[in-house]
Amino acid sequence: MMSKLIAQKEGVEYLLMGNEAISRGALEAGVSVACGYPGTPSSEIIESLCRVAKEGNLYVEWSANEKVSMEVAAAASFAGMRSLCTMKQNGVHVASDFLLHLAASGIRGGMILVFCEDPGALSSVNEVESRYFAPMIEIPLLEPANFQEAKDMTRWAFELSEEIKNIVMVRSVTRLSHGSGNVIFGKLPNTKRQAEFRCDGPILDPDTGLVFSAPVVYKHQLQQEKIKRAEEIFERSPFNTYEGPEKPGVLLITSSICYLYCREAISLLGVEDRVGVLKFGATWPLPPSFLKRHLSLTDKILMVEEVRPFLEERVKILAAGMAPEMGIKTFYGKETGHFPSVGELNPDLVVSALGKIMGINSYVGMPADYEKKAQALASTKTPQRDLTFCPGCPHRASFWLIHNALQMDGRRGFVCGDIGCYSMAILSPAGGFGVMKTLHSMGSGTGIAGGFGKFGQFGMEQPVLTVCGDSTFYHAVIPALINAVHHRANMILIVLDNGGTAMTGFQSHPGLTVNAMGEEAPAVDIARICEAIGVKVEIRDPFDLEETRETINRLLEDEEGVRVLILRQICGLSPEKKAAKRYEVRIDEALCLGENCGCNRLCTRIFRCPGINWDRQKKKARIDEVICAGCGVCSSICPAGAIKREEAA
């Protein structure tokens, strides 16, 4: 079935996920090349473009990391085509060195960076605000506020990019990327541009010269002129809007998904005739005249945005300059404590802040302690459910083995964590058994372990381990591994190779034989990379519990340099497995020792695979056949031999 994303149905309304709306916007803009690195909440943009790559004559790739994805997309722009790169909020930081230089060199074909942020860190280990890159690197920033805008602004961002010959940032957030709404389609272009890199003209010619950031001062000047030009364009942008009375008592200034919260709050309070909403879609550089016109409407302004006071700061700076003419305004926002500068906002928070300013108590939203009370209530009525590894997850077996090996080794060894499903191991006892002690950015587990591994001279005797996933290995582990090898760090890298970028939904990576577009691709072998670096590599199956545990202990005893162990077992949810069970697993209740000395519920109290339940009435373990993935590992850990497994038919 043809994807609706390439339907030639101009003017027809479709229900799209925010990320799909962004993809459609790029398609309507005639994008040729799209690259990204998977990361929630951004992944569906590239995924949906992969599905239409063939029909849409696109080149789409899941790159090894965000920086590389931006470089590939930039090459497309240099060749005159329109290109898109996508990533989650911290991906921008990975790509930022290149982004800095790209912004200085300028681009040719329209190029946009879509970054999807995660306020509240629903699927992240940070809630960083990458909007600040726009002023820092001096490039324009757009923030769609609804699903239609997600498409329309993406499409328009390409035009803006070509107009000012620079990259444009488009920001989404989880609630927009992963929400769905109606989107009216525009026209899809019929033709694709020819790729050609023109580089024989005068050196400084933006269309035919060299593409680089020098002469720096000259290019910097040029870049600032581009920003000035963007500012002028933003003065007339249809994405910056005002709705409300001519003389509002309070003006809300907002952007992104908070615009919807503002509208809802005004409606809940019934103050449509007294409150106006100034919504910015083009948020950096802020257009001063447009801003001034609306600031002049009132004296009280409430800044509504998530996490950091990005707009608030810029608006206040501009307002300070306008004060001699416009008069002094009162601003409410994060600095006055009307909103938190961490976590997500919601309509109730806007109601509460607005109500406070206006002295309205008529609407009582969710009380502040609602969440706490709800959690307290839930904990008494529902079974405890931690974040945990899925049934059949190889990581549970891997961490079980690492934990046991470290306990046996007895020198207080620890694991430096990295980014992937296995990050959950830091949340003991939900499957990591308490071994993971640090967790930062992708690849940094190996970098940190390489540091710890050098501290023997200062008396450090603890064995140092780190883990990374297969995708993470390609992303950022390799340089850290090379560094550790070269400096003879004493450390063990355990690659938890589950055959895909599992956490974000099985996107392809360089270790696989198929690329993002479903084409055959040469797999880059992790073991051979390690061997080429000069590291001894062993490969084990984490489901072979005893042999693998012995291997880890042997590696721990071997205190020379970097050791790499690849624990290879496909993810329990991998589409390749097609949900097939390897074993049928059942409990022999006559053998199950339950709470008695000799077992004390090892499977449900310590191992805690969600596929095994504790039957409180019978006081026996029970396999949940629906949940059980049939890996059979529990059968190997049961001390009584009560968990029986048979090869599934």
Q: What does the binding site for other proteins look like in residue numbers (CB under 8 A)?
A: 403-404, 407-410, 433, 553, 595-600, 602, 606, 637, 639
* Closer residue to other proteins in complex, CB, 206/434: 434
Which residue from 169, 150, 141, 166 is spatially nearest to 314, judged by alpha carbons? 141
Which alpha helices (H) appear in 454-596, and where do they start and end?
470-472, 478-486, 526-533, 545-557
Q: Considering the complex, state which of residue 337 and residue 639 has its C-beta at the smaller distance from other proteins.
A: 639
Reference 289, options 326, 339, 264, 328; nearest CA is: 326
Instruction: For residue 210, report the phi and psi dihedrals to the nearest 5 degrees.
Output: -80, 150
- Residue 418 · residue 444 · CB < 8 Å: yes
Using the minimum distance from each CB to other proteins, give the nearer residue, 7 or 606. Answer: 606
- Of the candidates 190, 194, 186, 154, the one whose C-alpha atom is nearest the C-alpha of residue 172 is 154
Q: Minimum CB separation from other proteins for residue 638, in Å?
A: 8
CB of 452 to other proteins, least distance (A): 21
Nearest to other proteins of 530, 609 (CB atom) = 609
CB of 548 to other proteins, least distance (A): 15
Q: How far is the CB of 600 from other proteins (least distance, A)?
A: 5
Output the smallest distance, CB 409 to other proteins, in A: 7
Q: How many CA atoms lie within 13 A of 611 on its CB side?
A: 25
CB atoms within 10 A of CB 200: 9
Task: Indicate the residue among 408 and 523 with the shorter CB distance to other proteins.
Answer: 408
- Identify which of residues 201 and 456 has a Cβ nearer to other proteins in the complex: 456
Closest CA to 485 of 452, 440, 530, 439: 530
C-alpha span between 28 and 516 (Å, rounded): 21
Three-class SS string for 619-649? Answer: CEEEECCCCCCCCCHHHHHCCCCCEEEEECC
Buried-state track 16-30, b at ≥16 Cβ within 10 A, e below 16 = bbbbbbbbbbbbbbb
Say which DSSP state 575 is in: G
Residue with Cβ nearer other proteins (369 or 557): 557
User: Cα(355)–Cα(357) distance, rounded to whole angstroms?
Assistant: 5
In the complex, minimum distance from the CB of residue 171 to other proteins, in angstroms, rounded to a whole number: 45
Closest approach, Cβ 436 to other proteins, in A, equals 16
Nearer Cβ to other proteins (300/619): 619
Q: What is the CA radius of gyration of the chain?
A: 28
Side-chain-facing half-sphere of 199: CA atoms under 13 Å: 10
Least gap, CB of 309 to other proteins (angstroms): 46
Pick the closer one to other proteins by CB: 178 or 437. 437
Query: Least separation, in Å, of the C-beta of 586 and other proteins?
Result: 20
